[in-house]
Structure 1
Amino acid sequence: MSRLSSEPVAGLPAAREITAAAARVDELTAVLPGPGQRSPEQRTAVTEARRHARDLVDAFLRSHVDRLYDEVTGDRSRFLRLDEVCAAVAEAVPGLVPTRAQVDAELRLIPTEKEGLDIDQSILVGHLLRSDVAGPHLLEAMRRPTARALSLLPEFTRTGVAALDAVRVEVHDGAAHLTMQRDDCLNAEDNAQVEDMETAVDLAMLAPSVRVGVLRGGVMTHPRYAGRRVFSAGINLRCLQAGQISYVDFLLRRELGYIAKIVHGLSGERDRAWDGDVVQKPWIAAVDSFAIGGGAQLVLACDRVVAERDAFFSLPAAQEGIVPGLGNLRLGRVANGRLSRQVILAGRRVSASEPDGKLFFDEVVPAEEMDAAVAAEVARMDAPAVVANRRMLNLAEEPQDWFRAYLAEFAVQQARRLYSEDVMHKVTRFAAAPRAAAVTG
């Protein structure tokens, strides 16, 4: 046993203080109106009670995060995904983080009526990822194949096709073509699309016949782009406005899940082998029309990028009030510091046809030549030494310790931004915006 004592962490005096402080917060909010209807004095009372409870949690985790993680994972013998870890911790130390039922209930509320439970989860996640014991184990757990993908794998291996709601996967000549097909909203991502994207990436990584992955947007029915392919409009702002973007199952899952799998590979039992034999494959992004926000983050995760001549790249998260995932970390690979700040802080769009477009797009071709250009890139990436060399490039550019340290801070900063006054104002404004504006970021 790696834990110092067999006594459950809930029995520690500090854990009991957390449970008591959380109970006081619940008692207070139970007799008050919802967050949007509280008086300034009531808001101050809740804020102070929550701050006290969160200070206790932070102090507790500074001393006991590894012991807590070992308890809920059986001394790291079980690989729990992040949502499972949060649910297990909620049971192990009541009040430290919200229960699954509390999280689900909050997800049904508009942002101005939420209690900010994501912030409580962020404190735990930040400590877990900063830990040299818990952090690497959690990252490995999140890069394992999902149960859904494993259940679909036999049929996918047999047919070479997987038709998911948001993504269609087809295998042709050793390449898995993942076509994002949220045609009504310009492939703007929500919880459901992240679920389908991770399943699709897992299938492509697991299928023996697949040697290269290709990400591309399908043909849209959205009125502004009807009949055209679109790569991605980023986060679905309508879902964000409705409070339906999950902190753990969207904002963190996409970074630790399918995007991490694209960059760092699929983990498994062989992850501890002497040769580090994890599943890695090269990935190509084919960008039609635009890659905005989360779509731009996907571009930065891929090894090669083909774009149509009129396409553009942008990361407008600062204008939306949030942090663009790992975009801040990965943009520096391709752009200098000044250009990175222009893109992220000032909202600059970079078109494929301008000189700086060469930093984001490897091949730029007319729309009618996209299919041929993608095929040429697949052939280029389907070479014996590509996998080993992309692995070493990613190791040099994004070591796991850097990746983990960034994610630990991102987990906290993103949760705080979600409940900031300016974001609350923006999501309220999006509710009244025309549908086209609300999904393009």
Structure 2
Amino acid sequence: MTDCPSPSTGVPAPVPTDAPPPAPGPLCGRFDHDAGRLAEHAAAAERALTALPPVPARSREERIRAATVHAEVRGVRRAFLARHTDTVYGLLTDGLNRRPRLPELVDAAAYRVPGLVPTREQMAAELRHVQAEKEGREIDQGRFCGAVLRSPVAGRHLVETMLGPTPRALELLDRFRAEGRVELDTVHVERRGAAAHVEFRNPRRLNAENSRLIADLDTAVDLVLLDDRVRVGVLRGCVTDHPAHRGRRVFSAGVDLTDLRDGRIPLVGFLLGRELGYVNKLLHGLLTDPAPGAGGERGVTKPWIGAVDTFAIGGGMQLLLALDHVVAEEGAYASLPAAEEGIVPGAGNLRLTRQTGARLARQVVLGGRRIATTDPEAATVFDEVVPADRMDEAVERAVAALSAPAVAANRRMLALAEESLDHFRAYLAEFALAQAERAYAPDVLDKVERRWQERERRRAARGSRT
């Protein structure tokens, strides 16, 4: 590999033939050279990490050594991305002519630019461990995704790509149009008149979000937006069989913290995928024509109603911030327990302030405040509060009101005024790395472990009583 010319002479500096092999050199700004240097740094880092024991068996000194190795090679990755993000993205998309979805994009980057992000094999090895025992390679994925999203060209292209329909939805569309219903693993979608009702079905976990539910919701939202007979979408949680709320509907308990503890909440497929995927589609609609210059003709948007039974926690409350009308039963509440859990509540920080005001948003996000239907501030989150036995009736009234022909066009313009795609892109660029780092922070790992142990103790106690 040819070295970059030295600034003073324009030729590589001579190296004595009896000298030891040099350490990987600095980056110079030329892509091929810098990619080679990055690969050398990453290979050296892998050798150093391989020489250490597995993460759970490392001593304090060995953990410090591993952290130093990661910090050094991540510095090289950061410098490389600062110079070459658009070039890398252009290579991965054939000059913006292909639209790989986020998981495919990250996977391809590992092979096109060795050392930039973890390989498929490295990530498969990570999945064999609980969160606290992983090497933390998702942090490198977060840095790459953040750099792509930070680029006005590459980031906008990726955001629009993720607003396109999923292959699974396209496969199911004809059946949904013909039968008016689709049963997915964790979501039921059913057309009733002008509305399509999307019901979350993870009853044992209080409709908490896991990887399966996220994928199913992405498909379900696509189907609602693609079916011309549907004018309004409705989100609601199913009846749960969880001991604490057995026989009651629950909207959502947020992220499945057990899966987070067990290492089954991936950054790319879940934490970023949900924000770029179905949650963003709820607000900005579906991109059906990726050709530039088509304006509003490029996609389809529809109004959405949320029916909140019992509570909407974490990711559940995040959904409410992207909806057009929220009906809640008396006694329900919403919360974003980010400070308690230690992670970033998706795009909640972006959207909550404009809905509740800055001071209340800080109380919710930083202080863990719940907003109940009985609070004076309830109107900032809930449009309508009704008795539990009047929920169905209230939802139907909202469907009728939002089915008017002009609603879709006006809600699209409201969404553009409140949050442009570039505003969303810039926020998510910072979220990508912040969330990745928080998912491996010691306080988060300690909290999810303690919650898991407490849940296991309660389960054992219930088993002993029966």
**TM-score w.r.t. structure 2 length?**
0.90
Q: From 370, 387, 390, give the equivalent of 1:349.
A: 370
Which residue of 2 is the match for residue 123 of structure 1?
Answer: 143
User: Distance between the aligned counterparts of 1:420 and 1:107, measured in 2?
Assistant: 18
* Letter matched to residue 63 of structure 1: R
Which residue of 2 is the match for residue 253 of structure 1?
Answer: 273
Matched, 1:65 2:76: no
Deviations 1:92-138 (A, max 9, x none): 11111001222232123111210111110111111100101100000
Which residue of 1 is the match for residue 244 of structure 2?
Answer: 224
| Aligned pairs for 1:280-359 within 5 A | 280-359=301-380
Which residue of 2 is the match for residue 391 of structure 1?
Answer: 412
| Aligned pairs for 1:107-256 within 5 A | 107-256=127-276
User: Distance between the aligned counterparts of 2:123 and 2:300, measured in 1?
Assistant: 33
Matched, 1:56 2:76: yes
**Partner SS state of residue 184, structure 1:** helix
Which residue of 2 is the match for residue 3 of structure 1?
Answer: none
User: Distance between the aligned counterparts of 1:435 and 1:229, measured in 2?
Assistant: 24
Runs of 4+ in 1 over 3 A off after TM superposition: 435-438
* Letter matched to residue 249 of structure 2: R
**Partner SS state of residue 204, structure 2:** coil
Q: Which 5+ residue runs of structure 2 have no aligned equivalent?
A: 1-28, 460-466
Which residue of 2 is the match for residue 94 of structure 1?
Answer: 114
**Partner SS state of residue 284, structure 1:** strand
| CA radius of gyration, larger in | 2
Query: What is the RMSD computed on CA atoms of the aligned residues?
Result: 1.6
Which residue of 1 is the match for residue 9 of structure 2?
Answer: none
* Letter matched to residue 161 of structure 2: A
Deviations 1:43-63 (A, max 9, x none): 222212211111111111111
Q: Closer, same or farther in 2 for the Cα pair 1:294/1:436, shift >3 Å?
A: farther
**Partner SS state of residue 369, structure 1:** helix
Q: CA deviation at 1:377?
A: 0.3
Deviations 1:224-275 (A, max 9, x none): 1111000000000110111111110000000000001111111132663434
**Partner SS state of residue 152, structure 2:** coil
User: Distance between the aligned counterparts of 2:293 and 2:84, measured in 1?
Assistant: 30
Q: Closer, same or farther in 2 for the Cα pair 1:190/1:175, shift >3 Å?
A: same
Which residue of 2 is the match for residue 6 of structure 1?
Answer: none
Which residue of 1 is the match for residue 292 of structure 2?
Answer: 272
Which residue of 1 is the match for residue 24 of structure 2?
Answer: none
| Aligned pairs for 1:398-417 within 5 A | 398-417=419-438
Q: Is the 8 A contact 1:14 1:56 kept in 2?
A: no
User: Distance between the aligned counterparts of 2:333 and 2:457, measured in 1?
Assistant: 18
Q: Is the 8 A contact 1:10 1:92 kept in 2?
A: no
* Letter matched to residue 288 of structure 1: D
**TM-score w.r.t. structure 1 length?**
0.95
* Letter matched to residue 66 of structure 2: V
Matched, 1:85 2:105: yes
Q: CA deviation at 1:31?
A: 2.3
Deviations 1:315-353 (A, max 9, x none): 001210000000011101211111111111110111112
Which residue of 2 is the match for residue 428 of structure 1?
Answer: 449
Which residue of 2 is the match for residue 371 of structure 1?
Answer: 392
User: Distance between the aligned counterparts of 1:435 and 1:45, measured in 2?
Assistant: 34
Q: Which 5+ residue runs of structure 1 have no aligned equivalent?
A: 1-8
User: Distance between the aligned counterparts of 1:402 and 1:376, measured in 2?
Assistant: 33
Residues 366-375 or 56-65, more deviating: 56-65
* Letter matched to residue 380 of structure 1: A
User: Distance between the aligned counterparts of 2:457 and 2:280, measured in 1?
Assistant: 30
* Letter matched to residue 385 of structure 1: A
**Partner SS state of residue 66, structure 2:** helix
Deviations 1:266-302 (A, max 9, x none): 1132663434211101000000000000000011110
Q: From 356, 379, 382, give the equivalent of 1:361.
A: 382
Q: CA deviation at 1:199?
A: 0.5
* Letter matched to residue 286 of structure 1: A
Which residue of 2 is the match for residue 4 of structure 1?
Answer: none
Q: CA deviation at 1:78?
A: 0.6
Deviations 1:341-379 (A, max 9, x none): 111111011111221111100010000000000000001
Q: CA deviation at 1:437?
A: 8.5
User: Distance between the aligned counterparts of 2:280 and 2:458, measured in 1?
Assistant: 30
User: Distance between the aligned counterparts of 2:44 and 2:105, measured in 1?
Assistant: 24
Q: CA deviation at 1:431?
A: 2.2
| Number of residue pairs aligned between Structure 1 and Structure 2 | 430
Deviations 1:417-437 (A, max 9, x none): 111110111122122012698
User: Distance between the aligned counterparts of 2:37 and 2:407, measured in 1?
Assistant: 54
Q: Is the 8 A contact 2:132 2:261 kept in 1?
A: no
Residues 205-214 or 16-25, more deviating: 16-25
Which residue of 1 is the match for residue 16 of structure 2?
Answer: none
**Partner SS state of residue 132, structure 2:** helix
Q: Is the 8 A contact 1:108 1:244 kept in 2?
A: no
